[in-house]
């Protein structure tokens, strides 16, 4: 249940409350309302028809009621001996024959029993843990443990007073044992002061954790790279297009960062096709013109290869040597690359996570650029930062790129440890991609369309989600599709690329597609990120209903990359689940990645959206980004100042809330 210490137990909050403070006479019981009564057993009988059940009749001064149990133990029978007084809690209803409660909670009334004074909290449970276990455990904290001292506020009372928030102990006490239904209603809406206090504290812990990481890294030393505007200016002049205003803006932000003598820690976000790679290349040139090296990393070999080709073509005219490093290279090629990196002969190296490995040594690494940063694990990103530590004092600058736009609430919270730049504009002249939804039974029409597009000289992606037969999911395999396509389109050159292929094969196929030698490329989602073929104008995505929103958006971004009008056809199986229908509607109606991301976040929540295992960010258990946005803003406003003025208290606060989890975010 995620409960591992006193704090996580006492912040395990009720999901609702029930009223056991009053006894209702049987006559006054309302249908469907949870009520408590005290009554005397007048009859108990086990019936066997229509099936085994226990029927108990009880009465009080005002009337009588039937209790019915379908599951019961012989031991329970004792409680129902005629004449026994019991307390019963349940919802009454009428059936054809009787006024009854099914499976109410019952207990014997003892002399010493008094009614509780507060409402009873109800907690969510997991198999094997009963309501009573949790209730008792939390009760013990409040009555047999110095909880007041344990929960003492670390920050000055004046801070919370300014925010009109009560102290932590009182807040938790009120949430576990609210006095009345008015208080409960506010708790259940998360608007009560006690709840606001807890939520604020949780946000504050997250901010303190992320900001302290940020400030720690900011205190490190990096090589400052003064913009000489030599290579960079020539490069920009030579580009066959003008940079967008948004590109210029983020370029300036990065340029300023690189001139500082502490490491840049910047996240560059922009929708697919917004032109992040050019911006990253300009940053690289600023470092290279100062005599340092740049590492450029991509999550897949296909993407790394493509960056390599592009950067090679862009940079060779400047006499800049670009090396290439992946796990699948021959030993000899690898040695050559490694030597060029170590000697400094290569000013730039492009590769996959092979760049993270131990024996990869740079002469002087000034900047690492990480494309599609969310695809790399925390450890890998950490490992690359360590690369700069060869001489133990200098850290490389770091530029991370993300093609999954991040909604503002998320970047304010989970990305508070990074500076964020946003390219919020696409290059001019791009034709909007037309998205169409087709159900499976209209496959023939689509095949005809594919044929037309290829014959007009353009190219087509055909995306299948899985490559292996899976009866459960009934997804078609890419291999099968490939064979079918080949026999269907005898006059087209069809290719296949999927994740299980050897990387040399993969590269060959992609190169053939880029050259136009392959007209129809059957692919798994390995092409999801970054592949750039502007002559591809049609994409068909099979079983689109099974894919996530950001994945669909990324895939769709593979077409519409040139001046030609492009179409994305989403093929779906009939019988859509509610959530699949919702996703397809969003992707059909929207092309703006930020809107899609916001919808995705709303549907999936931040944990799933970020792939939290990877991001390593401390999760929020109680606070909700959309609902509690104002409190997030308040926590964010004061976090840096608290870290500076009250480092000790800040540390205690984030340790209280994050415990061990905090250790995982030091990236």
Residue ranges that bind Mg ion, judged by CB under 5 A:
530
Name the residue whose CB lies closest to Mg ion. 530
Tokens encoding 542:
């099979």
Could you tell me how far CA 210 lies from the centroid of its own chain?
A: 16
Q: Which does 232 bind (CB under 5 to 8 A by kind): ligand ADP, Mg ion, none?
A: none
Minimum Å gap between C-beta 276 and Mg ion is 5
- Residue 588 CA to its chain's centroid (Å): 22
Q: Return the number of the residue (243 or 483) whose C-beta is nearest ligand ADP.
A: 243
Which position among 403, 463, 527, 539 is part of the footprint of ligand ADP (CB under 6 A)?
Answer: 403
* Least distance to ligand ADP, CB of residue 266, Å: 15
Give Dmax (Cα) for the chain: 100
**243 contact, one of ligand ADP, Mg ion, none, CB 5-8 Å limit per kind:** ligand ADP
Q: Distance (Å, rounded) from C-alpha 561 to C-alpha 537?
A: 8
Q: Tokens 């880029």: give the residue.
A: 514
Instruction: Identify which of residues 213 and 352 has a Cβ nearer to ligand ADP in the complex.
Output: 352
What is the closest distance, in whole angstroms, from the C-beta atom of residue 241 to ligand ADP in the complex? 4
Identify the sign of the CA torsion 579, 582, 587, 588: positive
Q: Which stretch binds ligand ADP (CB under 6 A): 119-127, 255-263, 269-277, 477-485?
A: 269-277
> Hey, how many other C-beta atoms are within 10 angstroms of the C-beta on 38?
17
> Which one of Mg ion, ligand ADP, none interacts with residue 561, CB within 5 to 8 A by kind?
ligand ADP
E strands present in 271-410: 293-297, 322-325, 348-351, 365-370, 394-395, 397-402
What is the total count of residues that contact ligand ADP (CB under 6 A)? 18
Q: Which is nearer to ligand ADP, 424 or 532 (CB)?
A: 532
Written as six digits, the tokens of 214 are: 């940020």
Parallel/antiparallel/unpaired status of strands 419-423 and 494-497 = unpaired
Please, which of residues 191-250 interact with ligand ADP by CB under 6 A?
Answer: 241-244, 247
- Determine the Cα–Cα distance for residues 563 and 241; give it in Å rounded to an integer: 13
Shortest distance, CB of residue 372 to ligand ADP, whole angstroms? 9
Residue 120, beta-bridge partner list: 18
363: which 2 tokens?
């002469």
Which of ligand ADP, Mg ion, none does residue 278 bind (CB under 5 to 8 Å by kind)?
Answer: ligand ADP
CB closer to ligand ADP out of 528 and 532 = 532
Contact at 8 Å (CB) between 254 and 266?
A: yes
- Residue pair 527/461 in contact by the 8 Å Cβ criterion: yes
**Binding track over 346-385 against ligand ADP, x by CB under 6 A:** ----------------------------------------
Residue (400 or 403) nearer to ligand ADP, CB: 403
Which CB, 146 or 237, lies closer to ligand ADP?
237
Quote the least distance from Cβ 297 to Mg ion, whole Å: 12
Specify the residue, 26 or 279, whose C-beta has the smaller distance to ligand ADP: 279
453 interface partner picked from ligand ADP, Mg ion, none, CB below 5 to 8 A per type: none
Which one, 270 or 495, has the nearer CB to Mg ion? 270
Using rule CB under 6 A, residue 421 touches ligand ADP: no
What does 542 bind: Mg ion, ligand ADP, none (CB cut-off 5 to 8 Å by kind)? none
Per the CB < 8 A criterion, the answer to whether 30 and 67 are in contact is no
Minimum CB separation of residue 403 from Mg ion in Å reads 6
- Residues numbered 495 to 534 that lie near ligand ADP (CB under 6 A) are 530, 532
Q: How far is CA 263 from the centre of its chain?
A: 26
Neighbours of 370 (CB within 10 A): 25
Of ligand ADP, Mg ion, none, which one sits near residue 263, judging by CB under 5 to 8 A according to partner kind?
Answer: none
Between 271 and 290, how does the x/- string for binding to ligand ADP read (CB under 6 A)?
-xxxxxxx------------
Strands 53-60 and 99-102, sheet pairing: unpaired
* Minimum gap (Å) between residue 604 Cβ and ligand ADP: 22
Q: What percent of the chain is helix, strand and coil (3-state, nearest 5)?
A: 45, 20, 35
Nearest residue to ligand ADP, scored by beta-carbon proximity: 275
Residues forming beta bridges with residue 102, ordered by sequence position: 68
Rank residues 166 and 562 by Cβ distance to ligand ADP and give the closer one: 562
**Partner interacting with residue 181 (select from Mg ion, ligand ADP, none; CB below 5-8 Å by kind):** none
Q: What does the per-residue mask of binding to ligand ADP show for 558-577, with x meaning CB under 6 A?
A: ---x----------------
For 269, phi then psi, to 5°, come to -110, 150
DSSP reduced 3-state for 599: helix
Residue among 427, 499, 548, 605 that touches ligand ADP (CB under 6 A): 427
**Beta carbons of 551 and 609 less than 8 angstroms apart:** no
Distance in Å, CB of 344 to ligand ADP, minimum: 27
CB of 558 or CB of 653, closer to Mg ion: 558
Binds 244: which of ligand ADP, Mg ion, none (CB < 5-8 Å by kind): ligand ADP
Q: The tokens 């699948």 sit on which residue?
A: 328
Cβ distance to ligand ADP smaller for residue 181 or 241: 241
Quick one: what does residue 636 bind among ligand ADP, Mg ion, none, with the CB cut-off 5 to 8 Å set by partner type?
Answer: none
- The tokens describing 35, both together, are 């009520």
Given the rule CB under 6 A, which of 222-230, 268-276, 492-500, 541-549 is the region that contacts ligand ADP?
Answer: 268-276
Q: Provide, rounded to whole angstroms, the least separation between the CB of residue 546 and ligand ADP.
A: 24
Exposed e or buried b per residue across 278-301, where buried means at least 16 C-beta atoms within 10 angstroms of its C-beta = bbbbbbbbbbbbbebbbbbbbbbb
What DSSP element (H or E) covers 69?
strand 63-69
Q: Which is nearer to ligand ADP, 263 or 270 (CB)?
A: 270
Q: What backbone phi and psi angles, to 5 degrees, belong to 195?
A: -65, -40
Rounded to whole angstroms, how far apart are CA atoms 418 and 214?
A: 7
Provide the Cα torsion 358, 360, 364, 369; round to 10°.
-90
Of 187, 186, 194, residue with least CA distance to 160: 194
Footprint of ligand ADP on this chain (CB under 6 A)?
241-244, 247, 270, 272-278, 403, 427, 530, 532, 561
């Amino acid at each position: 249940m995620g409960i591992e210490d006193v704090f996580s137990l006492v912040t395990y909050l009720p999901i609702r409350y029930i009223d056991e403070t009053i006894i209702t006479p049987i006559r006054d019981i309302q249908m469907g309302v949870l009520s408590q009564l005290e009554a005397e057993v007048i009859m108990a009988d086990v019936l066997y028809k229509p099936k085994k059940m226990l029927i108990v009749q009880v009465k009080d001064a005002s009337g009588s009621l039937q209790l019915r149990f379908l599951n019961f133990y012989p031991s329970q029978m004792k409680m129902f001996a005629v004449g026994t007084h019991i307390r019963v809690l349940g919802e009454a209803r009428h059936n054809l024959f009787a006024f009854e409660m099914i499976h109410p909670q019952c207990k014997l009334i003892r002399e010493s029993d008094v009614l509780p004074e507060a409402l009873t909290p109800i907690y969510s449970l997991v198999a094997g843990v009963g309501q009573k276990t949790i209730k008792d455990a939390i009760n013990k904290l409040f009555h047999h443990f110095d909880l007041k001292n344990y929960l003492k506020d670390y920050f000055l009372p004046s801070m919370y007073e300014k925010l009109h928030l009560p102290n932590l102990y009182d807040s938790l006490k009120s949430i576990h044992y609210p006095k009345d239904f008015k208080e409960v209603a506010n708790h259940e809406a998360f608007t009560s002061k006690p709840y606001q206090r807890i939520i604020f504290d949780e946000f504050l812990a997250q901010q303190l954790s992320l900001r302290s990481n940020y400030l720690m890294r900011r205190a490190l030393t990096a090589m400052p790279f003064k913009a000489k505007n030599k290579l960079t200016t020539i490069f920009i002049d030579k580009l066959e297009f003008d940079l967008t205003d948004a590109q210029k803006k983020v370029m300036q932000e990065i340029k300023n960062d690189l001139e500082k003598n502490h490491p840049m820690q910047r996240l560059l976000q922009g929708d697919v096709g917004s032109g992040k790679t050019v911006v990253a290349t300009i940053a690289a040139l600023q470092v290279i013109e100062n005599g340092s090296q740049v590492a450029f990393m991509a999550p897949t070999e296909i993407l790394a290869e493509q960056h390599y080709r592009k950067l090679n073509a862009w940079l060779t005219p400047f006499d800049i040597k670009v090396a290439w490093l992946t796990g699948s290279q021959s030993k000899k090629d690898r040695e050559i690359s490694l030597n060029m990196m170590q000697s400094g002969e290569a000013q730039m190296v492009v590769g996959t996570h092979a760049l993270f490995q131990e024996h990869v040594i740079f002469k002087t690494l000034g900047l690492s650029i990480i494309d599609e940063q969310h695809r790399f694990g925390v450890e890998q990103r950490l490992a690359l930062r360590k690369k700069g530590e060869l001489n133990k004092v200098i850290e490389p600058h770091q530029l991370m790129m993300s093609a999954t736009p991040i909604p503002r609430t998320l970047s304010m919270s989970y990305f508070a440890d990074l500076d964020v730049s946003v390219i919020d504009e696409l290059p001019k002249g791009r034709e909007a991609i037309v998205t169409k939804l087709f159900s499976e039974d209209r496959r023939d029409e689509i095949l005809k369309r594919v044929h037309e597009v290829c014959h007009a000289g353009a190219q087509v992606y055909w995306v299948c989600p899985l490559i292996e037969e899976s009866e459960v999911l009934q997804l078609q395999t890419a291999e099968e599709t490939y064979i079918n396509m080949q026999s269907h389109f005898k006059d087209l050159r069809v290719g296949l690329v999927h994740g299980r292929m050897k990387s040399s094969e993969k590269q060959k196929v992609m190169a053939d597609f880029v050259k136009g030698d392959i007209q129809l490329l059957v692919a798994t989602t390995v092409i999801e990120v970054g592949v750039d073929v502007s002559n591809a104008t049609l994409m068909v995505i099979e079983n689109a209903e099974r894919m996530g929103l950001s994945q669909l958006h990324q895939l769709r971004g593979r077409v519409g990359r040139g001046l030609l009008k492009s179409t994305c056809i989403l093929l779906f199986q009939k019988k859509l689940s509610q959530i699949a229908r919702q996703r397809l509607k969003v992707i059909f109606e929207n092309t703006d990645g930020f809107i899609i991301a916001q919808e995705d976040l709303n549907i999936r929540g931040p944990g799933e959206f970020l792939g939290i295992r990877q991001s390593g960010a401390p999760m929020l258990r109680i606070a909700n980004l959309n609902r509690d946005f104002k409190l997030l803003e308040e926590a964010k406003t004061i976090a840096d100042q608290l870290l500076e003025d009250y480092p000790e208290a800040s540390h205690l606060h984030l340790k209280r809330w994050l415990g061990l989890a905090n250790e995982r975010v030091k990236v």
